[in-house]
Structure 1
């Protein structure tokens, strides 16, 4: 299954590759050169199909857990001051996506969207410390039953030049549902309450809608 955001690119690439393969067959006499061009064209098509894949992830919503919104590697776990919405300290967990990761963004929790805003910006490499506040990005806030308000931020990287965000204020969403897409490399920051229990470690690989990022502490509900 492929993500709908890739349909036009996939179709365009398919016809371009077919044209390249046929042109090489008819116009390149040297066998090694012809095969090189044809294999390169097929490799490009496979890479595009791989990038826009959208594996089905079945999720039973769990109010006690925050799930990874994307596939990738945990590159930041720290306490930060969040100036855009919360205007207070938050636990930030950042996940970096390489071009080979699935780039579908999924809602990390069930709840109501209370804030959704797009910010134009720079295209610093996604692991740059200032990418969270200076790069092109979207910020989404969810009100959840157990954690209160949590946030996530889609951040464009040096290669990513297109952020797709489906979150609309006032909308009720379910954990694991499709929340958007970031094309060609990027990062997602989770902004969580200070008292939540972080369940991942730095450099750990995570899977969107499967890996638990943080859990609710029962004593916090007392």
Structure 2
């Protein structure tokens, strides 16, 4: 998962970004609306965490602008404002969820995972593809009930493939959502990591579609 954090309080932004990164989330930070506007227009993210009190305009104004431009990625609003009218304005502008400051950083992580999961049409925190299960809340993967040890990079790659299943995911899409912007992995790097996942999950788990990319062998289903 790759998210954009839009927050002008540098201490808060650094602390939240650090917690999310420790959980395996890729985070880019924007300190104002203009920078965020540029990034959401030129980069690919799975979700946005948006502060309302920005130095160059209310966050709802920027959010309304993005929705008018057809940018429909999930948005979680952060704010110190507790009035219902402020929350209603955020939802009316197109927000998907809301967290009031002060907050537990773990709550932000859980809400982000839920937003991304629902954006792909899933309601349950555990997604199954064949005998592979991805627990989005715990950040764990099992195969036939047995835990599978993955690196953070492998987990992000597998998670993106499972959320997208059975759609084919191109190498370009994987590079945009799974890797840091300054990494720019070539096809060989992605191929190597997919091969490592196959060794851990079974050679039949991930299919290579020549000239198009990869897809999970099966459709992701909610557990339960």
TM-score, normalising length: structure 1: 0.28
Higher strand share: 1
Structure number with higher relative contact order (C-alpha < 8 Å, ≥ 6 residues apart): 1
Higher helix share: 2
TM-score, normalising length: structure 2: 0.27
